[in-house]
């Protein structure tokens, strides 16, 4: 694989995945009637509220000037809130929805489940953005890989991603931004400089409105203009940040994709081709998923204190159930048995997807808890204590984090 001259870095193929208008996409997933409508997700538009900001605006809402981080007051001036009774206001209106982070995290977990089985090395940047190291993937296969990844994300998580693939992290991110929404851009090593050249300075990473204005006043309109100049010009004007900007414009980024710390959870999910109420099929799938996450936890030397499952009913109703243990364990049989027990609540329900998740992970050398700590003296675990039953006999089933 060719590399740009002057870059002393390992050859790599980096994929940047960015979910398009993620919060708004999640709201459309929950309510398909919102498809094609201007959707604004934020806080402060409710009756009696006077302060708030836009978290996400769909592309339809952006056509009316609504942008992320805009004050909700300004957003409502540009795009009034649609009346609940459908009253015609005589102009364009938008659908405003409050932030529902628990739901967005559940959808994000679906996306990450796809990403984690796609690449050995995954770096999650935020709830809707991640980098993947694609290892030895041939550049001739990059476009096909990107299309397949996008299809899997949309099929299994129900949301659309834009994907950029390039030999470095900076260019991959810029590539994913180039053709939004639903974009796929592959930049091979020999094409990095020509790809970057026409990108406006305001779109470069770390360049805000003030810096962009200063660069334009200095005569630099594009990344190509910056790349053609001496690095000292930008170091003199912006210090260390200026050198980084010059390197970015030239495609010089020697960072490698590395996970941030130990994972907070390990999960595995799988969808049925069609929703099913067949208890045998559901049980078989949950057993397979339980074995998969337990094997991965063992491979990562991870102990876990919480075993959980996810159940997705049509069209996209997400339910989670979990059981917390008295101490960290590495016990594949317990994972499988607990997942099956938790699934029993949904034995007769139609299900489109199942998942198993291990959380409250521990990577230290502490002695793990054993199943004998829950023994009743008759050789079987005490389910009332394991499930945390209340005096009235109701099981306390916690949600995923």
Residue 155 belongs to a domain with what CATH number?
A: 3.30.70.270
Kindly state whether residues 332 and 353 are assigned to the same domain: yes
Task: Tokens for 156, please give them.
Answer: 């299994």
Kindly state whether residues 112 and 222 are assigned to the same domain: yes
Helix H or strand E encompassing 322: strand 317-329
Q: 132-168, pLDDT tens digit by residue?
A: 998 878 899 999 999 999 999 998 899 999 999 999 9
Q: Give every CB contact of residue 240 below 8 A, 6+ residues apart in sequence.
A: none
Please indicate, yes or no, if residue 332 is contained in any of the structural domains. Answer: yes
Please indicate, yes or no, if residue 401 is contained in any of the structural domains. Answer: no
Full-model pTM: 0.67
Region 19-34 average pLDDT: 94
Q: 38-81, pLDDT tens digit by residue?
A: 999 998 887 666 678 999 999 999 999 999 889 999 999 999 99
d(CA 293, CA 279): 21
pLDDT confidence of residue 364: 62
Residue 246: CB atoms within 10 A of its CB come to 21
d(CA 213, CA 99): 33
Domain that holds residue 311: 265-386
Number of independent structural domains in the chain: 3
Kindly state whether residues 82 and 120 are assigned to the same domain: no
Instruction: Among 223, 249, 275, identify where a domain stops.
Output: 249
Please indicate, yes or no, if residue 396 is contained in any of the structural domains. Answer: no
Please indicate, yes or no, if residue 122 is contained in any of the structural domains. Answer: yes
Kindly state whether residues 284 and 335 are assigned to the same domain: yes
Kindly state whether residues 75 and 149 are assigned to the same domain: no
Q: Could you tell me how far CA 8 lies from the centroid of its own chain?
A: 31
Angle made by CA atoms 72, 181, 147, in degrees to the nearest 5: 145
Instruction: Among 69, 99, 129, identify where a domain stops.
Output: 99
Kindly state whether residues 93 and 151 are assigned to the same domain: no
Task: Specify the higher pLDDT residue, 394 or 306.
Answer: 306
Q: Is pLDDT above 60 for 17?
A: yes
Catalytic site positions: 129
Least confident range from 56-65, 221-230, 293-302, 361-370: namely 361-370
Kindly state whether residues 118 and 212 are assigned to the same domain: yes
Q: Is pLDDT above 90 for 289?
A: yes
Kindly state whether residues 93 and 121 are assigned to the same domain: no
Region 71-98 average pLDDT: 82
Please indicate, yes or no, if residue 195 is contained in any of the structural domains. Answer: yes
Q: Is pLDDT above 70 for 27?
A: yes
Please indicate, yes or no, if residue 287 is contained in any of the structural domains. Answer: yes
Q: 297-320, pLDDT tens digit by residue?
A: 888 888 999 999 989 888 777 788
With cut-offs at 50, 70 and 90, classify the pLDDT of residue 369.
very low
Kindly state whether residues 112 and 201 are assigned to the same domain: yes
Least confident range from 183-187, 259-263, 290-294: namely 259-263
Region 115-130 average pLDDT: 86
Kindly state whether residues 116 and 239 are assigned to the same domain: yes
Q: Is 286 exposed, middle or buried (0-12, 13-18, 19+ CB in 10 A)?
A: buried
Kindly state whether residues 168 and 229 are assigned to the same domain: yes
Partnered with residue 311 across adjacent β-strands are 319, 354
CATH number of domain containing 313: 3.30.1490.100
Q: Is pLDDT above 50 for 21?
A: yes
Kindly state whether residues 239 and 112 are assigned to the same domain: yes
Instruction: Among 224, 249, 274, identify where a domain stops.
Output: 249
Q: Where are the beta strands (DSSP E) in 7-160?
A: 14-19, 39-42, 54-57, 95-97, 121-126, 129-133
Q: Is pLDDT above 60 for 2?
A: no
pLDDT confidence of residue 175: 96
Q: Give every CB contact of residue 260 below 8 A, 6+ residues apart in sequence.
A: 123, 124
Please indicate, yes or no, if residue 395 is contained in any of the structural domains. Answer: no
With cut-offs at 50, 70 and 90, classify the pLDDT of residue 211.
very high
């Amino acid at each position: 694989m060719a590399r740009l001259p002057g870059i002393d870095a390992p050859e790599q193929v980096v994929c940047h995945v960015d979910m398009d208008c993620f919060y708004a996409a999640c709201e459309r997933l929950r309510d398909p009637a919102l498809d094609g409508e201007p959707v604004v997700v934020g806080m402060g538009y409710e009756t009696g509220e006077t302060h708030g900001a836009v978290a996400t605006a769909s592309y339809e809402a952006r056509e009316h000037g609504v942008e992320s981080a805009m004050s909700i007051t300004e957003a409502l001036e540009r795009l009034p809130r649609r009346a609940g009774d459908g009253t015609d206001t005589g102009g364009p209106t938008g659908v405003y929805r409050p932030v529902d982070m628990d739901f967005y995290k559940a959808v994000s977990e679906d996306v990450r489940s796809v990403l984690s089985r796609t690449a050995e090395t995954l770096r999650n940047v935020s709830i809707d953005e991640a980098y993947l190291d694609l290892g030895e993937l041939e550049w001739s296969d990059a476009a096909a890989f990107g299309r397949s990844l996008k299809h899997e994300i949309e099929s299994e998580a129900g949301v659309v991603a834009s994907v950029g693939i390039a030999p470095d992290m900076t260019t991959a991110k810029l590539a994913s931004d180039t053709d939004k929404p639903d974009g796929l851009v592959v930049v091979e090593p020999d094409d990095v400089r020509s790809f970057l050249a026409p990108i406006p300075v305001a779109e470069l990473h770390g360049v805000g409105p003030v810096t962009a204005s200063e660069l334009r006043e200095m005569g630099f309109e594009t990344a190509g203009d910056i790349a053609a100049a001496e690095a000292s010009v930008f170091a003199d004007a912006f210090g260390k940040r200026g050198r980084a900007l010059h390197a970015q414009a030239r495609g010089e980024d020697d960072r490698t994709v590395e996970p941030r710390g130990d994972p907070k959870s390990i999960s595995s999910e799988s969808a049925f081709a069609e929703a099913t109420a067949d208890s045998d099929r559901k049980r078989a799938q949950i057993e397979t998923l339980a074995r998969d996450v337990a094997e991965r936890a063992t491979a990562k030397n991870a102990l876990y204190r919480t075993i959980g499952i996810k159940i997705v009913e049509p069209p996209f109703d997400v339910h989670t159930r979990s059981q917390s243990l008295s101490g960290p364990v590495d016990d594949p049989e317990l994972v499988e048995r607990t997942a099956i027990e938790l699934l029993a609540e949904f034995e007769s329900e139609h299900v489109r997807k199942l998942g198993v998740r291990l959380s409250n992970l521990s990577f230290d050398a502490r002695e793990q808890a054993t199943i004998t700590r829950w023994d009743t003296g008759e050789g079987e675990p005490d389910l009332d204590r394991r499930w945390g039953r209340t005096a009235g006999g109701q099981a306390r089933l916690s949600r995923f984090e």
